[in-house]
Structure 1
Amino acid sequence: MAEQHTPRSLIVSLYGAYGRTSDGSPMPVAALVRLLAVLGVDAPSVRSSVSRLKRRGLLLPRRTAGGAAGYALSEDARRLLDDGDRRIYARSEPKLSEGWVLAVFSVPEAERHKRHLLRSRLARLGFGTAAPGVWIAPARLYEETRNTLERLDLSPYVDLFRGDHLGYAATAEAAARWWDLPAIAALHEEFLTAHEPVLRAWRERPGDPGDAYRDYLLALDSWRRLPYADPVLPAELLPGDWPGRRSAEVFAALHELLRDRGAEFVRPFLAEHGE
């Protein structure tokens, strides 16, 4: 299946990679339009996607130092991107001895819309389903889970526990029930199919900064969903041919090769429209 890069997702990836300034200065609209055009996104799609992000409270309309129209990240957006960095760029693998975090929830029928929100958010955090109303994830996700539930006002419906799996099934067998491992493996294989050849090409014949920007943004936009779909389980719970480690290595290598080179391409766009 071919990868799908939506305009809204590409905008978020662009801000995550190159749009976070220490002073909170906005990215000019004209720069956004031109930088997204490199990725095949037309101006009307950029503007409609920016409007949706603005309605969600993630982008704030601001003027640049030179008076041009632009959009800055809101505090919520900055926190979301910072939380995302801890997942997207994580290199350490969890140990089984670190244990698990359990989320046990009960939502009144009158507020069933919050039940749906809770389930979808736990799934996006990487939780698997241990039993109805009981969700499980590696213990290292506790802090992010707690912060997310509090931010969405869902904490009154949830109790969080930390502990070990004591049986009766072997933990690897249980994990294969808690998560859809074949579906997660397919996501890693899809990433590898799209981006491993890109890494090989860069190692054989490096491109220019514009190529680096394009290839890095597309890789980042694909990769940043994976650390949420995949909870990154301890190696002993995964099949021997698990592709997750290889896809993480490919993304890390692309990040090392391309991120700063791509910044050389982005910088003149921001300076041209922002001063």
Structure 2
Amino acid sequence: MTGVAEHSSPSPPPAAPRPSPGSLILTFYGAYGRGFSSEGTVPVATLIRLLGAVGVDPPSVRSAVSRLKRRGLLTAERPGSKSAGYAPSPAARQLLDDGDRRIYARPRPDGNWLLAVFSVPESERQRRHVLRSRLARLGFGNAAPGIWIAPSHLEEETRHTLARLELTPYVDLFRGSHAGFEPTAEAVARWWDLDAIAAQHRAFLAAHEPVLRTWSRRRRVPPEAAYRDYLPALDAWRRLPYADPGLPASLLPDDWPGERSAKVFFALHGKLRDAGAEFARAA
């Protein structure tokens, strides 16, 4: 014993979870699959080749497709005499279109807030569960029982989503500023689990910032290599704009990693997306 306090080294960022085959399939349709035809039908053999390029074996692709069919997200198509293919269902296409607006946006919060205040009769408790889970998935924080809050720029998407799910009779929406008795930054730390959101950003950075550094040293962008790196990055990124709804930077910790992770994703998107599309079209 030296009598000198020992300092442990900082904990490494958590490892990004391995993407599931079903998640990668939905990410593929969001990025590339909708462009395969007017219906977005992709032959199953093509799906197997393209998911194989990012490490998913054929049995896992088939199992994931079956699960997505049961969930009503993919529909089987047989164009003419060709082999079976799969296209996003109308519900899935709506989800993908909504995702485009969130995933590729760079929010500019104005400091105002959107409040969702709801009351659901006990006889319809299942709708209460759906409403809570949907608001959470949209990025709302929970301010109090039956009161959820989000940055005001989420209003249009919130209205659209609640109307699509036929939940508007139970909800009132309000816009305004925070005039409470505690500093707004402290309130934000109650409404959202900032540590958990920051951990997601850091996991994304740990997995994909080294990828960007590698590409920044390359002049050529081979289509297959671009596809292999872009699809997993998009799959990891697409959850973050929902977990982190674009809170004002002035209300976040000084070491907030969100802006850095956004820069990494959009740099990868700009460099790899179109080249990856060449590989997908040629599969």
TM-score range, shorter chain: over 0.9
Structure 2, unmatched stretches of 5+, are 1-13
Q: Which amino acid aligns with 1:53?
A: L
Judge conservation of contact 1:212–1:262 (CA < 8 Å) in 2.
yes
Judge conservation of contact 1:212–1:261 (CA < 8 Å) in 2.
yes
Are the structure 2 counterparts of residues 80 and 29 from structure 1 closer, same or farther at C-alpha, using a change threshold of 3 Å? same
- Quick one: which of 148, 169, 176 aligns to 2:161? 148
Q: Which residue in 1 is equivalent to 2:179?
A: 166
Structure 1, unmatched stretches of 5+, are 270-275
SS at match of 2:86: strand
Judge conservation of contact 1:18–1:266 (CA < 8 Å) in 2.
yes
* Counterparts of residues 1-275 of structure 1 (less than 5 Å): 1-2=14-15, 3-21=17-35, 23-64=38-79, 67-96=82-111, 99-205=112-218, 206=220, 208-269=222-283
Give TM-score scaled by structure 2 length.
Answer: 0.90
Q: Which residue in 2 is equivalent to 1:272?
A: none
Of residues 179-188 and 161-170 in structure 1, the stretch that sits farther from structure 2 once superposed is 161-170
**Once superposed, which parts of structure 1, at least 4 consecutive aligned residues long, lie more than 6 Å away?**
none
- Give, in angstroms, the shift of residue 207 of structure 1: 5.3
Judge conservation of contact 2:221–2:272 (CA < 8 Å) in 1.
no
- Give, in angstroms, the shift of residue 142 of structure 1: 1.1
Q: Distance in 1 between matches of 2:133 and 2:92?
A: 19
SS at match of 1:20: helix
SS at match of 1:160: strand
- Give, in angstroms, the shift of residue 108 of structure 1: 2.1
Q: Which amino acid aligns with 1:222?
A: A
Q: Which residue in 2 is equivalent to 1:273?
A: none
Q: Which amino acid aligns with 1:34?
A: R
Give TM-score scaled by structure 1 length.
Answer: 0.92
Higher relative helix content: 1
**Greater C-alpha Rg:** 2
Judge conservation of contact 1:124–1:228 (CA < 8 Å) in 2.
yes
User: After superposition, what is the alpha-carbon deviation per residue over 1:101-126, rounded to whole angstroms, capped at 9, x for unaligned?
Assistant: 11111222232222222111111100
Judge conservation of contact 1:216–1:262 (CA < 8 Å) in 2.
yes
User: After superposition, what is the alpha-carbon deviation per residue over 1:114-146, rounded to whole angstroms, capped at 9, x for unaligned?
Assistant: 222211111110000111110000111111111
Q: Which amino acid aligns with 2:26?
A: V
Q: Distance in 2 between matches of 1:194 and 1:29?
A: 29
Q: Distance in 2 between matches of 1:53 and 1:160?
A: 33
Question: RMSD of aligned C-alpha atoms?
Answer: 1.5
SS at match of 2:108: coil
Judge conservation of contact 1:38–1:214 (CA < 8 Å) in 2.
yes
Judge conservation of contact 1:27–1:64 (CA < 8 Å) in 2.
no
